[in-house]
């Protein structure tokens, strides 16, 4: 059951965190992609502005200058005068044929508004930034300018190879995708470990619940078996009726004590525990407990020592009956596990701002590995549970 629950919770946590991680990576990728594209567009626009200023102010371009501009910036520069291209072979060879690219770019520029009504002398028109793809998968961005002079119209077309930038963007996208996949796998591993640790208390509680049910069933079965056997004996042996009735009464009393303790624990678990707080004398409470158990200790030949301080103790605000109940549980345990001749000490003392009650016996003690379990419900050092004087609920209460 817990294995299946761990798988479901791990899947849920991994998917939730994975979606958040994917969203963050997508935002980062597109932000970086947009920043790089904006920077490249700004650089290209600056280059085009420089070329267009030269184009409009000069009537002659040297091949060396054009070749230098193309080589340094991966540009393709094309100039026409009155529809006739100026001869310039270009400084480098693109992946797609140069003339094919220029023809496609001029067609794209026409669609972007380069062609139209005839311009008046001194006027100009310019296309916005456009993109085109070559026959070999190479990518370009471009802009075109057309201006009119007294001698006719001039056209400037500039393309820039952005294939490398596109590839870098693709590699960055693959990097983010790999980071996302790796992050998702790590999230799955961490979620599996985290959910496993989270379920440990649930597993322990389930085990304790199973032990609790088994112990409660055992404690209830024993008195019921005695009652049933005594009732059967009454039918067959009328002369034993007084003894059988006494057995039934004893077992009913034991069951009543067990049920009372279970109800107290249930009230505490449901946070319906009520306390009646009053100002009380701690030494008076200890004297009351001493008077209750002194006859029992004398009967069992167990010396009971009462130790009270010489100084006057401050009053405490507490529920007197609950304090007596706690001390009674400790006294019951002390008497059960202290042999004849060994003493029990009852003491009260002031420790800084705390008033401390002490019940100390000199019995065989509890092994160190089992000390943490003494407050578990139905815990008994005797695993066979043959001791009928206790149910193992005193310390939990």
Is 233 exposed, middle or buried (CB count within 10 Å of its CB: 0-12, 13-18, 19+)?
A: middle
Give the helix ranges, DSSP H, for the chain: 2-57, 63-73, 98-111, 163-236, 241-269, 282-299, 320-336
- pTM for the structure as a whole: 0.53
Supply 311's token pair: 């100084």
What CATH number was assigned to the domain covering residues 278-365?
A: 3.30.565.10
Angle between helices 320-336 and 282-299 (to 10 degrees): 30
pLDDT score for 391:
58
Q: Return the closest-CA partner of residue 38 out of 139, 127, 165.
A: 165
Q: How far is CA 168 from CA 33, 256, 358, in A?
A: 10, 81, 77
pLDDT score for 158:
92
pLDDT score for 380:
62
Backbone angles phi, psi at 305, to 5 degrees: -100, 130
pLDDT tens-place values along the chain, 397 residues long: 778 888 888 888 888 888 998 899 999 989 998 898 899 899 989 998 888 888 877 767 778 888 898 899 999 999 888 878 887 888 888 988 989 999 999 988 888 877 767 777 778 888 899 999 988 889 999 999 988 877 778 889 999 999 998 889 889 899 989 998 998 889 888 888 888 888 888 887 777 777 667 666 666 676 777 778 788 877 777 777 788 888 788 778 777 777 777 777 776 666 666 778 899 998 899 999 899 888 888 888 889 899 988 888 899 998 888 888 888 888 888 887 777 778 899 999 988 888 999 999 887 777 777 777 666 766 665 555 555 555 565 566 6
pLDDT score for 269:
66
pLDDT score for 397:
62
The dihedral formed by the CA atoms of 31, 36, 40 and 46, expressed in degrees to the nearest 10? 70
Q: How far is CA 215 from CA 167, 174, 218, 247, 292, in A?
A: 71, 61, 5, 22, 30
Residue pair 230/242 in contact (Cβ under 8 Å)? The answer is no
Supply 114's token pair: 């380069």
With a CB cutoff of 8 Å and minimum separation 6, the contacts of 21 are 180, 183, 184, 187
Partners of residue 348 on adjacent β-strands: 357
With a CB cutoff of 8 Å and minimum separation 6, the contacts of 87 are none
């Amino acid at each position: 059951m817990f294995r299946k629950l761990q798988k479901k919770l791990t899947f849920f946590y991994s998917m939730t965190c994975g979606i958040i991680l994917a969203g963050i990576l997508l935002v980062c990728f597109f932000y970086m992609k947009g920043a790089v594209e904006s920077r490249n567009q700004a650089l290209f626009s600056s280059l085009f502005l420089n070329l267009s200023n030269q184009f409009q102010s000069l009537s002659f371009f040297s091949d060396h200058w054009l070749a230098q501009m193309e080589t340094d910036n991966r540009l393709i520069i094309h100039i026409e005068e009155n529809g006739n291209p100026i001869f310039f072979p270009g400084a480098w060879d693109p992946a797609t044929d140069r003339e094919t690219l220029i023809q496609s770019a001029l067609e794209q520029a026409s669609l972007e508004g380069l062609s139209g009504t005839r311009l008046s002398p001194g006027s100009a028109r310019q296309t916005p930034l456009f993109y085109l793809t070559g026959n070999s998968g190479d990518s370009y961005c471009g802009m075109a300018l057309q201006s009119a002079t007294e001698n006719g119209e001039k056209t400037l077309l500039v393309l820039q190879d952005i294939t490398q930038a596109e590839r870098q963007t693709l590699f960055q996208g693959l990097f983010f995708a790999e980071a996302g996949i790796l992050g998702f796998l790590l999230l799955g591993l961490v979620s599996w470990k985290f959910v496993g640790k989270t379920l440990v208390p649930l597993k322990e509680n389930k085990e304790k619940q199973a032990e609790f049910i088994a112990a409660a069933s055992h404690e209830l079965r024993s008195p019921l078996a005695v009652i049933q056997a005594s009732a059967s004996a009454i039918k067959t042996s009328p002369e034993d009726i007084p003894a059988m009735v006494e057995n039934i009464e004893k077992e009913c009393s034991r069951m009543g004590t067990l049920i009372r303790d279970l109800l107290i624990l249930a009230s505490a678990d449901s946070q319906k525990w009520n306390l009646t707080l009053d100002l009380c004398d701690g030494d008076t409470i200890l004297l009351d407990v001493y008077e209750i158990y002194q006859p029992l200790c004398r009967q069992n030949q167990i010396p009971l020592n009462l130790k009270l301080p010489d100084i006057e103790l401050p009053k405490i605000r507490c529920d007197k009956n609950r304090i007596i109940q706690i001390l009674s549980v400790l006294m019951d345990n002390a008497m059960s596990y202290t042999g004849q001749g060994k003493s029990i000490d009852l003491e009260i003392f002031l420790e800084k701002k705390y008033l401390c009650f002490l019940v100390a016996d000199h019995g065989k003690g509890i092994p160190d590995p089992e000390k943490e379990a003494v407050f578990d419900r139905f815990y008994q050092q005797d695993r066979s549970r043959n001791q009928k004087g206790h149910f193992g609920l005193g310390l939990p209460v």
